[in-house]
A and B are shown apart, each in its own frame.
Chain A
Amino acid sequence: MFNLSPQDWTAIALSLRIALVATAVSLPFGIAIALLLARKEFWGKALIDAVVLLPLVLPPVVTGYLLLITLGRRAPVGAFLADHFGIVFAFRWTGAAISCGVMAFPLMVRAMRLSIEAIDRRLEDAASTLGANPFWNFATITLPLALPGVIAGAMLAFARALGEFGATITFVSNIPGETQTISAAIYTLTQVPGGDGAAMKLVVVAVIISLAALVASEWLARRATARLHGA
């Protein structure tokens, strides 16, 4: 059953690319927001917290629609980006990466925030008495100590991005070769008579990729934790 068609391969490669780009681009923002929420008290924090979590609780279609009416070709932000910078997200794989990134963001931030909150801040105090300015303190103490959580957050986000369906199909549709991910391809195949066999193959691929991501994240997080405790 494993002779995948060229279209299948296209969907697989596209899914991986979209999920990787979504994860990589949101990573620095995720770390920054996690740090902000874990460490700072400021007016409006509860609001930011809620906005970050929103994609987790909103119906994905709603998130996709909100993206469409902000970043679509005729939407205010989308039109501005298209006219001034030639950047278009609507019906492009980059748009799919945005919707996947937005959907995965809450999971990423949550994992990172928890690990940052678990850090013994007295170690950071010690580092500052040794002469580390805030940047070095973050780079040499906070970030390495939070690394297991950062890895876990990135992997969760990657897995979530890989499986994203509702927001993506609403925002960038389901165009083979451009925005048709594994999930969208499976959905399409289940809508046509006799597509079950082909859908099954992609289902197996999706299970394999997700399992691999899970195992890799466990292994990486374990290694990072072991390193922290002096193995």
Chain B
Amino acid sequence: MLTVAVEKRLGDFVLNATFDSVSGATALFGPSGAGKTSVINMIAGLLAPDRGRIVLDGEVLFDNATRINVPAWRRRIGCVFQEGRLFPHLSVRHNLDYGRWVSGRAAEPQAFAHVVDMLDIGNLLERRPGKLSGGERQRVAVGRALLTMPRLLLLDEPLASLDEARKSDILPYLERLRDEGSVPMIYVSHEAGEVKRIASRVVRLEAGRVTAAGGAELLA
């Protein structure tokens, strides 16, 4: 369970968002410029709100009143960014293994094999990110985030940089991920069609404010 109540002034733009997400996939839906990415960055710990509180599964991640701000690297929240952000100097295998490696956990060959299998990236392992297509890159990015064994997965417009054909290639993988139900997801998008396929719960964000929260009927 994630509870978010944040306020942040970014230049002239004021973000003031309050919502919660129970389990499964929650969509953060709204036009570009609504502040979706800022909200995601605050949950991930990459951007500090001016005021507010973020609580995940009972653990306070941010609270300005008690001056708590857990750094991103301790939050165990996986992120998939729009541009993938794979590390260009590491092979796909080392990108996937990165989270485990920096946190000093022992190798988990089963988890690794499972994620590689689920995302169909077994044939890419020895390649460098520079040699991947956009769709392959996003699948690897999803796998990399999953292999950190996150408590929550944030997907920030993961399909936005892909063309239509690639999008429909990847959506089934995301659906599979959701159906496994092992990790709750926040799915950010401005595409109603995408959101419909992935998320059961929708939080609509417009001009920095949550204007509605509910089920898929909000997308109509």
Give A residues with C-beta under 8 Å from B.
120, 122-123, 125-134, 136-137, 140-141, 144-145, 227-231
Interface flag for B123 (CB, 8 Å):
no
- Asked whether B131 lies within 8 Å of A130 as measured between CB atoms, the reply is no
Q: List the A residue with the shortest CB-CB distance to B129.
A: A230
Interface flag for B81 (CB, 8 Å):
yes
Q: List the B residue with the shortest CB-CB distance to A126.
A: B85
Which stretch (B11-19, B69-77, B169-177) binds chain A? Answer: B69-77
Query: Quick one: which of B81, B127, B129 contacts A122, CB cutoff 8 A?
Result: B81
Query: Quick one: which of B73, B83, B87, B128 contacts A129, CB cutoff 8 A?
Result: B73
Number of interface residues of B (CB under 8 A): 30
- Asked whether B130 lies within 8 Å of A129 as measured between CB atoms, the reply is no
Query: Quick one: which of A122, A132, A227 contacts B102, CB cutoff 8 A?
Result: A132
Q: Could you name 29 residue pairs across A and B whose Cβ atoms are closer than 8 Å? A: A120-B85, A122-B81, A122-B83, A125-B44, A125-B72, A126-B79, A128-B46, A128-B73, A129-B44, A129-B45, A129-B77, A129-B78, A129-B79, A130-B98, A130-B144, A131-B76, A131-B148, A132-B98, A132-B102, A133-B102, A145-B88, A228-B89, A229-B88, A229-B128, A229-B130, A230-B88, A230-B127, A230-B129, A230-B131
Query: Quick one: which of B73, B83, B127 contacts A132, CB cutoff 8 A?
Result: B73
Interface flag for B140 (CB, 8 Å):
no
Complex-state Cα separation, A137 to B101, whole angstroms: 12
5 closest Cβ pairs, A-B complex:
A230-B128, A230-B130, A130-B99, A126-B85, A132-B102
Across-interface contacts of B148 in A (CB, < 8 A): 129-131
- Is chain A's binding surface mostly helix, strand, loop or mixed? helix
- Asked whether A125 lies within 8 Å of B46 as measured between CB atoms, the reply is yes
Complex-state Cα separation, A140 to B85, whole angstroms: 15
Chain B nearest CB: distance from A123 CB in Å? 6
Complex-state Cα separation, A129 to B44, whole angstroms: 7
Interface flag for B103 (CB, 8 Å):
yes
Interface flag for B145 (CB, 8 Å):
yes
- Asked whether B85 lies within 8 Å of A131 as measured between CB atoms, the reply is no
Across-interface contacts of B98 in A (CB, < 8 A): 127, 130, 132, 140
Complex-state Cα separation, A230 to B74, whole angstroms: 30
- Asked whether A127 lies within 8 Å of B88 as measured between CB atoms, the reply is no
- Asked whether B145 lies within 8 Å of A130 as measured between CB atoms, the reply is yes
Across-interface contacts of A130 in B (CB, < 8 A): 73, 78, 98-99, 102, 144-145, 148
- Asked whether A123 lies within 8 Å of B85 as measured between CB atoms, the reply is yes
Kindly identify, within residues 8 to 37 of chain B, every residue whose CB is under 8 Å from any CB belonging to chain A.
Answer: none
Query: Quick one: which of A131, A144, A227, A230 contacts B103, CB cutoff 8 A?
Result: A131
